[in-house]
Amino acid sequence: RESLKEQARLRLREFDIGDKFSHLPLRKASVLLPLLLRGGQLHLLLTLRSMQLRRSPGEVCFPGGKREAIDKDEIATALREAKEEVGLQPEKVEVICRLVPGIDKMNHLVTPVVGFIEDTFQATPNPHEVSKVFVVPLEYFVKPRNYNTLPYKTPSGGSGRLHCFIYDDHEHKMSFKIWGLTAHFAVFLALVIFGKRPTFEVDYDLDNLIASSENNFMSLYASLNERKKSNL
């Protein structure tokens, strides 16, 4: 058990970006990527957003949200949001690192914060925000049974592809669709920890994952800036 966790910790710390991108002039948000060990395998905890929400109702995501004035950094945002959404106490999270951020459709800079939680954690979902909490084996995000891609428009107006996973959850007797930025973060986390090729195409140089992921992010950020300028 501990050796699996320790290997994951070591790999993740190599990829810790700290506050490298915190200076960028975008509104900030964070998500918590909660890892737990179950049945000798790493799992990732995810939530299904409530149908009452205005933004992305009924979609799968990680606990998280927008930065507030009381948050001292991206980690504080992720921990506060996880407590509000699923009742996860901040002191019950062993925070390991921050990974390369993404940019959501509202143009927030979204930082993924990775932490270990106990597999005994019992979620108490806030019904206004979360309708279900479930776990997926992390390996599913490099070796999925049900995977496809969805086309989307990039910030610069080009076209790209989004990962889309369908996960059949036996505990809830339902299938969850995991796509977009949530799938992007889950795939990257799995690539970092397992260090092996996925069974599908990814936009990274897998032999140089750190530089490649940062370059991808910076070109996304640059294309967003270009679009802003052209809209002025």
Q: What is the pLDDT along the chain (232 residues), one digit of tens a residue?
A: 679 999 999 999 999 999 999 999 999 999 999 999 999 999 999 999 887 877 776 899 999 999 999 999 999 999 999 999 999 999 999 999 999 999 998 899 999 999 999 999 999 999 999 999 999 999 999 999 999 999 887 666 677 789 999 999 999 999 999 999 999 999 999 999 999 999 999 999 999 999 999 999 999 999 888 877 766 5
Rounded CA-CA distance 37/2 in Å is 9
Residue 50 has a pLDDT of: 86
Neighbours of 156 (CB within 10 A): 15
Residue 105 has a pLDDT of: 85
State whether the Cα torsion 215-216-218-222 is positive or negative: positive
Neighbours of 105 (CB within 10 A): 11
Question: What are phi and psi for residue 205, nearest 5 degrees?
Answer: -85, 105
Q: What is the pTM of this model?
A: 0.95
Residue 56 has a pLDDT of: 72
- State both tokens at 146: 């049900």
Q: Confirm if 206 and 197 have CB atoms less than 8 A apart.
A: yes
- Write down the residue that tokens 């299938």 correspond to: 175
Least Cα distance to 54 among 69, 68, 65 occurs for 65
Residue 156 has a pLDDT of: 61
Least Cα distance to 208 among 14, 10, 9 occurs for 14
Superfamily of domain 4-231: Nucleoside Triphosphate Pyrophosphohydrolase (3.90.79.10)
- Sequence-distant (6+) residues with CB within 8 A of 92 are 117, 118, 121
Domain boundaries, the chain: 4-231
- Tally of CA atoms within 13 A in the half-sphere of 4 that contains its CB: 12
Least Cα distance to 34 among 103, 135, 132 occurs for 135
Rounded CA-CA distance 109/132 in Å is 25
